[in-house]
Structure 1
Amino acid sequence: MKKEVRAMENRLIHVTLIIIFIISILILFMLLQSYKIEKRKKLAEEQLEESQKKYQLLVESSTEGFILVVDGQQSFCNQKLREILDTQDDCKELDINQLFFLDDDEEPLNIQELMGENESISQIELKMRRADGKLIDILLSVSPIEFQNQQGMILITKDITHQKRAERGKTEKKKEQLFVELQSSLLILNQPVKNFIKPVISCPGETTISAAAAHMRQNSSNALLVEGESAGTYKGIVTDKDFRVKVIEVKSDYATPLEHIMSSPVIALSERSLIFEAMLFMQDNEIKHLAVKNETDQIVGMLNDDQIFQIQSNTYGNIIQEIKLASTIDEIKNIREKMPQVMNTLLENGANARNINLFLTRVSDSVSGKLIDFALRDLGPAPAHFAFMALGSEGREEETLLTDQDNILIYEDVAEIDKKRVETYFLKLGEYVCDALNDCGYHYCKGEVMAKNPKWNQPLNQWKKYFRKWIMLPEPQALLQVNIFFDFRTVYSSQKAKYQQRDPFFYEMRNHIYQLTQEKPDFFVFMAKNALLYRSPIGFMG
């Protein structure tokens, strides 16, 4: 009996130990799982915290302003937004419904109402009020979000004030250019015809057709008047068309008297009539040749449709177009020779001086651009990017007919092994363009401030050294250079499809000069003192 009890006790002990062991294993397993879960949780929290830091760093380093709105309250904004608003105040004090405006409206926009039923807003142009009350141009994007089970939105703002200002500047420039073109066209067409007539070429009525044709050829004329019975009177006109239709086509005898093929009477217009009146008169009467008479009805000259076309071609738009279509330097030279007559016409009619300066500057820019195209055609493609810049009065767009050349050439920095080859090419290009400009009437600079001078035909880094020296050591000679070189303006850039003022070299130089003047603010004092040395050319009588 005792043995059986002891055996049963042993079995119970074994079962108990087994159960304890299993329970221990289960507890250990649970502890291990809890540890793993806690470790994963901690790792997830660390990763989340790291992600949040990265996101915050990304947002803070963004070039766009961010506003996070949760449950109607501003909970976060980045540093860029503060810069745009010109404030360091806490974002929670911002009221987004008082920030944004349509144009210059006094009523601010409610963002929720602006979104309406739209899920988001993508880059809408608005005005945003800064801390000082000034309105600036921005692009606004709005996206709804859910954050910690709360509804919210992210507003992204991009300051486009500079772009809008540049666009407005371009628009104003186009308007100004259009005004110059219209003014020049209207002033020329409002000139009296007496300023453009050619001398009368005439023959007696009994002159043979062959003799009359020879007379016309000798005088390079395509029309002549048939003389009347009394001196200074004319009874008819014969044109090159009459020779084709009434002589060649019908095979008339060349010995026939001229008066047999003349058109009569002679149609005449007063010498005081305007060019545009002459144009309309010729169109209405379907004629190509017009006699011009004085106050006593005496015919004093002739005007034809070719002359009218030539007069029209002297307007701004046509001159620029002729330059663009030119294929040789001689063609450019011929176009440039028109300018004194055009300017004389504009001045006699009281054209605005500023518009005349702009007219001449645009023509000069077009000529320079076309000559550079010729140089690239003849010398081969440029080995590096470059910009041809105007200085002085041309750089300020104040050119006159007597303005000489003031130009420089800037090209990108290249590897040491390529320096000599690139330097040689651009010096040849500078010589080509400056020599061609001189041939076209834009005389060499007496001070040799031209792209053909090796000193003023340099890579970008060397130009930066020039300006650093002039600004940091503002000696009299340096200030003289500054007065010339500070007015630089891009006429041609290899990095632009069109000739424009703005190009990478222009921006690079302007930014460099700005940084230098920030380093040495007293440079402006030296400039002011230097400016006082020059007296205005005004005397007691004006």
Structure 2
Amino acid sequence: MIEKRLTILKNTTPFNLLPDDVLLSIADSLQEIRYNKETLAYRQEITKMKGVDIIAEGEYETFFYDGQNNKRSVEIHHTGYCFGGISVLLNRKKALKSVIVKKGTLVYFLPRKDFRALCSAYEDFFQYFTTDFGNRMQDEEFAHFFKKPPSFEESYIASEQLYSRKIEAVAYRDLISCKPDYPICDAAKLMADKKVSCLFIKDDAQKIIGFVTDITLRDRVIAQCIDAKQAIHTIMDNPIVTIATDAYVYEAILLMFRTKARYLVVEKNGEYLGFLSRNRLLSEQAQSPLVFIQSVKLALNAQELKQKWEKVPLIITQLLGRGVHAEIVNQVITTIADTIAQKVIEEVISELGKPPAKFVYMVLGSEGRKEQTLKTDQDNAIIYEDKANEQRELVRSYFLEFAKRVSDKLNDIGFVYCEGGYMASNPKWTHSLSHWKRNYKSWMEESLPESAIKFSTFLIADTFMAMNKL
């Protein structure tokens, strides 16, 4: 009896990934169920899964019932098939599909508690089900019938439109603009009349050269008691951040977080069609992981940022469980990591005071390539502005202390130190612009393996944070 069960387990994916001693323990705890007549064993979204089934003999017919009780997405499964893993892990313990068991079928049943224990103990075993589900979600009919989690507590995932809907399908606002010499007070009145929070500035050639928002008026006019009759171009912001109509909604939101832009200009073939606000896009994604990124931006200190980072694995599990493409998942992780780093940098600047020179903080490696994963270390560097001889030591001292504090805070949050030392806190990778130019020149001229590694490491980088850009 045990030998037969072991043989079935060794020929059933993903149980064949488990060690022999574990399989022996499983085989001993399996319950046998024999069907003497054709039976509707499971009904989609109704039957609660008490565990998983392993077909030892016979046949399962799995399918979805549509609105007219017709069978859709029909599949036939035989000996060596495991049913119920996806349902237990990713569908709130409800049967994902309906199942008709054919007469004479023998099933080995593994209780839910034991199945979850295997998922917790063996990563490959668990990943099989999430990967399988992700592949199935690529099928339009399967995705159509899959019922989404009903609440934020059960899932951070918004409607799948976030990942399939394009900007051209979003209702964007018309561009309201004025000329550069327009008085500030008249510009504010125009914004009030048109009920817009963003006004664009166009030159005589109708090219957008800047913009003004409600926040601009508050911070640069009212707070500083500026004469409201001055020309609008004296307080405008720039540069303009654009998004193409064929881009996806999730790309627009990630772009806003990366650039700190509250507004995107929608363009098609070089023509500006309108604009989108971050608040509008986020309000339509109440359960989106991108709303979580916004909460990261509101964190007040490194301790809060650590708590946020600890929640990321849950978000990523949900994304993968819904079949979201791995490239999108990488972008989400990278954006969260970038946002945390930006917050840390801002916190350190508030501690040390205004930087004595313009600088750029670069991230390297997987984050620089926007391929970040959850298990990551720090890879970064700093380029700062060249200063007069008498200021060089002061400037270098500031940025070395700055880099040390940023690195220490990131390590506390969960981004561990780089074992190879490729961090800005290493004096070798915090230098002036002229020094970095000499580095690159020497690396390109030297035919040494070590130089090639350095060149490739620092060539592929993402300058995501710059205070007073170089």
Give the alignment's TM-score, normalised by structure 2. 0.41
Structure with more helix by fraction: 1
TM-score (normalizing by structure 1): 0.36
Q: Which has the larger Rg?
A: 1
